[in-house]
Structure 1
């Protein structure tokens, strides 16, 4: 396997010559065929915004469970707090700090786009409502600013990927003007946290994303499996995002590009006693966008079936839409 993962600088991509861009596109295409992963830099992000959201996320996870349980996500596609394991008491010897974060593993707080006009009968499946704790004004404000920025970056990635395939710049972006997306704010316990140690298999299992791609601001290491079955571990370069493709993009490119199986690996010994917050922005297409797999030679010829975007995502999440909703599916 070619081990290098390209770091695409968006600002340079826009300014380099056509011949240089062709070289970068070929390298990116190779990486997406082999690993489904690349790094992204050169995007516009207001200074301090990412750290502000991480700080708000940390403050949320420090809330008592009684407060967080008021905004629990009820299904795999809902927004809100997702609890992986119940709190585990700190050991009597007091070796772990007394921060509530050390008493268990809060998997994630999920935020998503809402259809505030409530014009669609299927809003609860397309745009589930956000579940905010009380007194969450700062969290909501920072999350709104950050996700607006990430939505813009995601559309730039859509245009980039279309150009790599020789398609019109709006081929993907034009089907994502009202795209579903989910912002994950995740807490990762230190390696010696009781919840981490006792639930290690759940922590380390491989999984794949279900949308078009995910933009990750990663503190812990990401390990992904290549098309050849090998795995590599990466830490994101400073100032860059990790971009990994999801099953929806794999379907759309008919297997040319792949949605990697990935997992978060145990932090290094230097991080053994540190907890971390990471951010992941999962981007889809418009909920009723028709995903028609691309024909060869652009498509990979894997024989994927066409599907409606949100329906394909919900299927992967194991969410069943009741038949009495009169859907067009």
Structure 2
């Protein structure tokens, strides 16, 4: 009897952080090896046992949805540009530009937050640690987002500790540079075709790109117009493919700083978010995305200053005024 081959194993493993934390040396080595292999191949992981409360994430989504449903005139006072704090409206961002691709603006809206606790250095604080903006129409958002941000920062440092182990380095190899880090947090709303119209050629909910920081932690919803990741055919990959989805898990990807920090051993995970699907034009998704970075001025690989690089990449994807 000829056996039918099953689907190929996903290049994106699911890592149980609770098991890794509680495990003995063998379990930890096994987990570290799986993480290293995944970041070498795709730059992506799924994590379970992360401890981020599902009800909290649901509340953030529900409250943000109330804001996004407001008329544009009520959202306009909170309008900002990429890298700022507030509302990124239609046409504000074009992520494909970060990799040098001329692309139409992304088909999304975002509520954008960032690091705000001052360092005491006036120049650094004026650029990277400004107060966040909280829409008065949704007062519950502030408490829930702040609770979520505290949990996401703790998780990101835990992930960097695991990644140091995967690299064979000391546990604080990365986290000694996150005493007062910068970070960004986006609540991305991907509405259906009725709101955003039909996609133009080369237009996506988010265009192809890599993230800019150390690790990105993503809480996403399953959808036809959802996340895709890139595996390079030159290395045996298949090009674009739907990202694996495990209910309750979080998606983690390496960013540009982490790739540079490891001398290119680990890939910065290239990805995109598909436009609203033609067979489900009303599909609406919302993602919670935490971009973790490092302390301002950190030397990363050949970069003398991590944040000069970050500022340049943020400026590249700013599509404000181009539509």
- TM-score tier, shorter chain, comes to 0.7 to 0.9
**Structure 1 unaligned residues grouped into runs of 5+:** 87-103, 294-304, 320-329
How far residue 273 of structure 1 moved from its aligned partner, in angstroms, is 2.3
- After TM superposition, list the pairs within 5 Å mapping 1:306-321 onto structure 2: 306-318=303-315
How far residue 280 of structure 1 moved from its aligned partner, in angstroms, is 0.6
| Larger mean Cα displacement after TM superposition, 279-288 or 203-212 | 203-212
Name 2:98's counterpart in structure 1: none
**Structure 2 unaligned residues grouped into runs of 5+:** 1-7, 93-105, 317-323
Name 1:152's counterpart in structure 2: 154
Name 2:50's counterpart in structure 1: 43
Do residues 240 (structure 1) and 246 (structure 2) align? no
- After TM superposition, the runs of 4+ consecutive aligned structure 1 residues lying more than 6 A away are none
Aligned equivalents of 2:159, 2:279: Cα separation in 1: 33
Contact conserved, 1:57 with 1:277, CA < 8 A, in 2?
Answer: no
Deviations for 1:139-196, whole angstroms, at most 9, x for unmatched residues?
1111101111111111110101001011111111121121111111011122x43524
Q: TM-score, normalised by structure 1?
A: 0.80
What is the SS of the residue equivalent to 1:143? Answer: helix
How far residue 123 of structure 1 moved from its aligned partner, in angstroms, is 2.0
Aligned equivalents of 1:36, 1:260: Cα separation in 2: 4
Aligned equivalents of 2:199, 2:40: Cα separation in 1: 36
- After TM superposition, list the pairs within 5 Å mapping 1:72-221 onto structure 2: 72-74=79-81, 76-85=82-91, 106-116=108-118, 119-190=121-192, 192-193=193-194, 195-199=196-200, 201-203=202-204, 205-219=207-221, 220=223, 221=226
Change in 2 beyond 3 A, CA 1:33/1:117: closer
Change in 2 beyond 3 A, CA 1:195/1:269: closer
Q: TM-score, normalised by structure 2?
A: 0.81
How far residue 43 of structure 1 moved from its aligned partner, in angstroms, is 1.2
Structure of higher RCO (CA pairs closer than 8 Å, 6+ residues apart)? 2
Q: What's the RMSD between the two structures over aligned residues?
A: 2.4
How far residue 128 of structure 1 moved from its aligned partner, in angstroms, is 3.5
How far residue 318 of structure 1 moved from its aligned partner, in angstroms, is 2.7
Name 2:24's counterpart in structure 1: 17
How far residue 85 of structure 1 moved from its aligned partner, in angstroms, is 3.7
Name 2:101's counterpart in structure 1: none
Contact conserved, 1:196 with 1:203, CA < 8 A, in 2?
Answer: no
How far residue 28 of structure 1 moved from its aligned partner, in angstroms, is 1.5
What is the SS of the residue equivalent to 1:157? Answer: helix
Deviations for 1:189-243, whole angstroms, at most 9, x for unmatched residues?
22x4352414463325311110111101111431111243622211421111010
What is the SS of the residue equivalent to 2:116? Answer: coil
Contact conserved, 1:77 with 1:125, CA < 8 A, in 2?
Answer: no
